[in-house]
Every structure is written in C-alpha cells, then in structure tokens.
Structure 1
C-alpha cells in the first residue's frame, strides 16, 4: 500500500505479546492516524485478524477500512496464505530493522523507535512529532507507544473497528446476562495465573484466596445492593473457591472473556493489558491491583485509556 498524497502511512512491524498487547498498540496508532488523517497497516495483527469484523477480510489490517477489498482478498485463498505464512509481517519487520540501521531514504522513510530513557514514548511528544513530520512512510518497531488523549478522543471509532465477530459477541453477552438478572452490580474479575507464576518472579501472581478476599471487600462497598461477579481466568475455576459470593465464569474463550469483562460495571485484575483493554472497550472503571496486600476502594477505580504500565 502507498499513502495518498499529503498523508503518511504507518506500518507496525513489531509483534508484542498476545492479543491484548497487540490491540493496545494498534489502537494507539489508530488514534494517531484518525487525528492526523493518516493511514495505518498492521501485519502483526494477522494472528487475530479473523476474530474481528473489520480485519477478517482486510489482508493489510488497514485503518481506515479500505473502501474496496484488496485484490489479494478477492482471489480465493490468497489472503489466507498470506496470513498463515506471515510473509508480509516478516517483510515489514526486516524493513523496519534495515531502515533503522541504514536510513537510505533520508527522512521520507523512517523507523520509529521508543525514546531512550523513557518508559513510555508518547506519540504527541515533540521528539516523535519531529521524527515523523517529514516522513511519508513510518515503520513502527517498538511497543511502548501511547497517545491516551487521542485514544479517549477517538475512542468510539476505535471500538467500532475492533467489534468482534457476532458469535464471540453473543458468547460474551451470554456470560454476563444471567448474573445481571439477580444483581444490581456485576463486577468482572480477571484471575491471571499461568505464565504469571514465573513472570517477574511471580510478583503479580496472586492466589485465588486473594481475589476472593478482595471480592468480599467489594461487596461491603455497595451496601444494600446485590453484587455478583464474573470470574475470567486462564485456568479452570470453580464456585467453591469463592465461598459466600455470587459468581459466574467466563466463556473458555480468551476473546469472548475479554469482551465479557467489558460488559461488567467494574473490573478488577492484576497488572495486565487484558483487563486494561476490557476497561477501555466497555468504558468501565478498572482497579489494577499491584500488590497482594492491597485494599480495594471504589474511588481507586478508573477507566483505562490504554496508557497504563
């Protein structure tokens, strides 16, 4: 793809973790493209493209959505082969590295990297704006790029772009509806175990007993109101782990769980992009728990605009 005259083309070439991570970097650059009137392609999203209406038949995972299908999508089987082999992703990744090391096109084609010494590189910062100002094509090759004010401003368009397939949307809705029938408030609980046992020495791995205690504390914060919980986890959970609480469980599909959490009234979870995306997508307040000895307070919940650590 080539950008229209007087517009830039951003191409994300850095694969960063799993679904929620890739949604977050994608969304931040969609916000930037929407603000500037630029275009964006993201071949790193091929692994998850078939889960969303806007990307399932969009071989470039382009934003804005092209008015006409690419000829690669019109020829039966070609788009599927490209996604499966990830050939476009590999080309973009190598191009990003080469342009960064050998800027043979001057400032017209550049590789955008994180600003050294900064944990988060803000896309509206002077350094970034100066880097991309004269460029026609910008290869994005890092992960911690954020534009929270633009994400908030263009949130509705980002959410529309990432609408999941109808079957996944239905599953997420059906996970929450039974809890709503007998509750005034539904709180989503993201219990991440799995890889968190070893990540950062298990710092953000909390036993189920911790989550159950936080959930009981939350019930006391809403006196006179019926509170139920939707528990989504990467491991099998059962009601016996949450005595005295009204609980339901996720859909067994990470994608449906992600959007089921977004349908809750509040969300709690450990440090993870998974509940962060759910908070943004559903515009629901999130409490990200950073210590197993933390206490829960209603005033500490807030909507995430995809800029949290």
Structure 2
C-alpha cells in the first residue's frame, strides 16, 4: 500500500504527482491512498472506479480530514522498530521528501508513506494504464456535458479546434514571469497556426484563461470560450481539442495526456510556431516525440 502524505500544489500538480503511483498500483495490484484530495472530490465522476485506488478513506471531506490528522500525528511518534514489525515504512527525517527504492513501495503487504510531490516517479506504466487513469479522472457530468454540448455545436461549423491556454495570474511571478505573455504573443501564435493549417478546413480557437480576456483583441479570428468556466471545464475542454498551445504548464500537459492531444509550448514571446513541433504528452515534462520540457533561465 502506498499512502500519499503530501499535497503537491494545485489540481494538475497533484494529478501529475499521483498518476505514476496510480498506474504502478494498477500494474502491481497494490493499494494507492492519497490523504489530501478532499478539495477536489466534487470535480470527478469515478474516483472510486477501482477498489485499490482510494482518494481519502471515505471520500467524506470532514471525516477524512479528521482521520488524516490522527493518522499522521501518531504514525510519526510510534517507534520505527514497532512500525517495521508491521511492515510500515515511515521516513520521519525526510517526511514528504522520502526517497524509497522502487522494490519497497511496490512490494505487496508493505505500507509505505510517500511524499508524491518530491518522490522520484516511475512513468513506465502511464501509457499502459492511460484508459484507466482517464476513467478515474473523468469530470463530473455537470462539467463534462456543458463542454461536450459546446463542442458539438462548434463542430457543426468548424473542422479543427485549437485550444489556447492563456496563463496569466500567478504566472506574473512564476519563474520571475518568464512565461507571462501579452495578448499579442498569443495572437501571433494563433495566426501562425491558422496560416499553416489546411485551408480547406475551417479552424476555430478555444480560449482558456485564469483571468478575464479582452476578446475583441482576437476578433480577426474565430474564437470561443466555455461559458462560466472553471478549472475542470477548461481542462476537459482543452483535452477535447485537436491541438493545444500555451506556456509551459502542468495544466495543458494534463489536458494533452488525458485527451491524447498534440501540444506545443510557447517558451518565449518571439517563439516560432510550427505544426510539426506539436506532440502529445506521455508523462510530465515528456513529449511523445522524445522532447523534454526544460525551463528557460530567468
């Protein structure tokens, strides 16, 4: 059993931290439990799809929080020799930053506490269990249906949908703002995609952002947004596109992996955008074409 004892960032950081452990647990038929997901229970339809994959013990927010506090408090004060007798492995010195060997965390009947955010990931099974991970993290029908209806409407008039992830907000400070781009940067990228696309096919751009956009600025192109969007509806919508473009982000990476959608990162304002550079994400920071995300120096 793997017990996740940390909460590594926002939603998509959590998904990328958990997914390799979930895939490995499905492969080895072990149990995966994360103790920190109560903020996101309401977003997903099938978190309990597999009996050995658990998001909290009962998926009841207050109860799970209470049990977590008790468990994490007492597991850290019980002597290690007693814990090891029951094959329970807790690294109290490197709590949330453990570095367990692979054989230990996959061995049956072991109970291993792991900080998913920092622990080395085994991505070997992400593609093999892609369909199962998609099932687990299927959005709730209330979010999914709205997106499906919008795409059904747009695909009556358009052949290709390009998702544009316009990340602002927190990106003003992330890595000293190196990926904080203005509207003109995104517009140039969109125009480049349109020029290179099959001119016999009609193309429309889905705009997703964590801030209110000036849609008039993009008025020369065919654009749309999901009405009353939130993180899960935009995330799912991007996964339904034919292409995704945006700054480096675990958000667009998850959409690419979830929907098998080719993705291209904009890493600087003058970046050339070529359709042949788009590739699907197969693991965090890893593209199907072999490219790896390496952040620019600030």
What is the TM-score with the length of structure 2 in the denominator?
0.82
Q: Is 1:50 aligned to residue 42 of structure 2?
A: yes
User: Which of 191, 194, 202 is equivalent to 1:226?
Assistant: 202
Q: Secondary structure at the match of 1:156?
A: helix
* Aligned-pair CA distance for 1:22: 1.3
Aligned to 2:246: 269
For structure 2, which runs of at least 5 residues remain unmatched after alignment? 286-292, 294-298
Alpha-carbon distance in 2 for matches of 1:46, 1:293: 41
* Aligned-pair CA distance for 1:27: 1.6
State which drifts further: 265-274 or 131-140.
Answer: 131-140
User: Which of 153, 156, 161 is equivalent to 2:128?
Assistant: 153
Alpha-carbon distance in 1 for matches of 2:139, 2:193: 30
Alpha-carbon distance in 1 for matches of 2:265, 2:97: 25
Q: Secondary structure at the match of 1:20?
A: helix
Contact 2:253 2:263 in 1 (8 A): yes
Aligned to 1:136: 110
Deviation digits for residues 46-100 of structure 1 (CA, Å, limit 9, x no counterpart) = 1101211223xx5xx975358xxx7x57xxxxx34325xx22344455567668x
Q: Is 1:81 aligned to residue 81 of structure 2?
A: no
Alpha-carbon distance in 1 for matches of 2:136, 2:166: 27
Contact 2:17 2:116 in 1 (8 A): no
User: Which of 82, 86, 105 is equivalent to 2:83?
Assistant: 105
Aligned to 2:290: none
Change (3 A) 1:233 1:254: same
Aligned to 1:193: 168
Aligned length: 275
State which drifts further: 208-217 or 16-25.
Answer: 16-25
Change (3 A) 1:131 1:247: same
Aligned to 1:249: 225
Q: Secondary structure at the match of 1:81?
A: helix
Q: Secondary structure at the match of 1:44?
A: coil
RMSD, matched Cα: 2.8
User: Which of 7, 10, 27 is equivalent to 2:2?
Assistant: 10
Change (3 A) 1:102 1:200: farther
* Aligned-pair CA distance for 1:223: 3.3
